Amino acid sequence: MQGSQSADPVSTRQWYPLGMVETLTNTAVETCLLGETVRYRLDECGQTEARCGDHLLPSRARYGLLWTTLDADPGSDDLIPRIPEADEPDRNLVCCGSIAVKASGLRVVENFLDMAHFPFVHTDILGAEPHTEVERYAVETREEGREIWATECRFFQPQAALSAEGGLMTDYIYRIAAPFSTLLYKTSPDDPERKDVIALFVQPMTPGTCRAHPVMFLLDNESSHDALVEFQQMIFLQDRVILENQRPVAMPLDAASEIPTLADRSSVAYRRWLKAQGVTFGAAPSGNATQSHTSFS
């Protein structure tokens, strides 16, 4: 299922999270990144350290996570997504752990962009019948084509957040900041003038497996940390059931594999953007796209 696909130069150049900084000790933790074995820990001076074999990798602590890259000449950490809201002092930083998924990391990002599944997968939380329609929204590239943004997204949600009391029409903005990193800006029940930010940083392990690292930057300072983590993990674990049943495991990028609807505009844009950039890790080989489908059995 996983195959022997090697990482493409674009994927290799990116920075990826490995785990939560607060859980690190001087005992090395072993994981997989783009098919390579990576070990990470705190060194003797209490600084973050990541290694691939005997090679010391660059590492950064950002958004509560330890990040690294396999790029032999990374230059800088500019490819870690910039999130200005993370610097706002009244926001609650909530790292929701790391969740293993038997699916392509690209599939995980694509699922995050999909509003149409809310009423059927996250019933009575992020959606419910008969409110199943995805209204028309706009998709555009920004940052000289390096990012994709979906704006003017709206969806009725029975419980848009842990602190929400009753259903509300929720405004969404989606941002694909890197091939394996995406963010959601959504209506905050606690401050109608600002938005909560939910990030999903994906660590591609093999072409058919990954770890998801959800991080939230919330204006909710009333709910307990554990309750917020539990709520977000519940949502993601509902998604994991669907993700692990999608076939093919690798995500097709060819136009012939797409049967787009109005609700799929961000997904179509994401696939075409990946193909234009040359991202292949976790993608179905070009010209070998089997019709993509989801099994609910």
Q: What is the pLDDT of residues 142-193, one digit of tens each?
A: 999 999 999 988 867 665 555 555 566 788 899 999 999 999 998 888 888 8
Q: Name the 3-class secondary structure at 266.
A: helix
Under a CB-based contact definition with an 8 Å cutoff, are residues 143 and 154 in contact? no
CA–CA separation, 243 and 238 (whole Å): 9
For position 118, what pLDDT does the model report? 60
Average pLDDT of the segment spanning 204-222 = 94
Show Cβ contacts of residue 3 under 8 Å, excluding neighbours closer than 6 positions. Answer: 206, 207, 208, 250
Q: What is the pLDDT of residues 22-69, one digit of tens each?
A: 999 999 999 999 999 999 999 989 999 999 999 999 999 999 999 999
DSSP classification of residue 6: P
For position 183, what pLDDT does the model report? 97
Q: Name the 3-class secondary structure at 195.
A: strand
DSSP classification of residue 8: P
Which domains does the chain show, CATH number per domain? Answer: 9-68 (2.20.25.680), 84-284 (3.90.380.10)
For position 297, what pLDDT does the model report? 25
Question: Which residues sit opposite 52 in a β-bridge?
Answer: 55
Q: What is the pLDDT of residues 264-293, one digit of tens each?
A: 788 889 999 999 999 999 999 875 444 444
What is the DSSP secondary-structure string of 80-124? SPP-GGGG-TTSEEEE---EEESS-HHHHHHHHT--TTHHHHSBT
CA–CA separation, 236 and 228 (whole Å): 13
Q: How far is CA 52 from the centre of its chain?
A: 24
Q: What is the pLDDT of residues 61-99, one digit of tens each?
A: 999 999 999 998 877 788 999 999 999 999 999 999 999
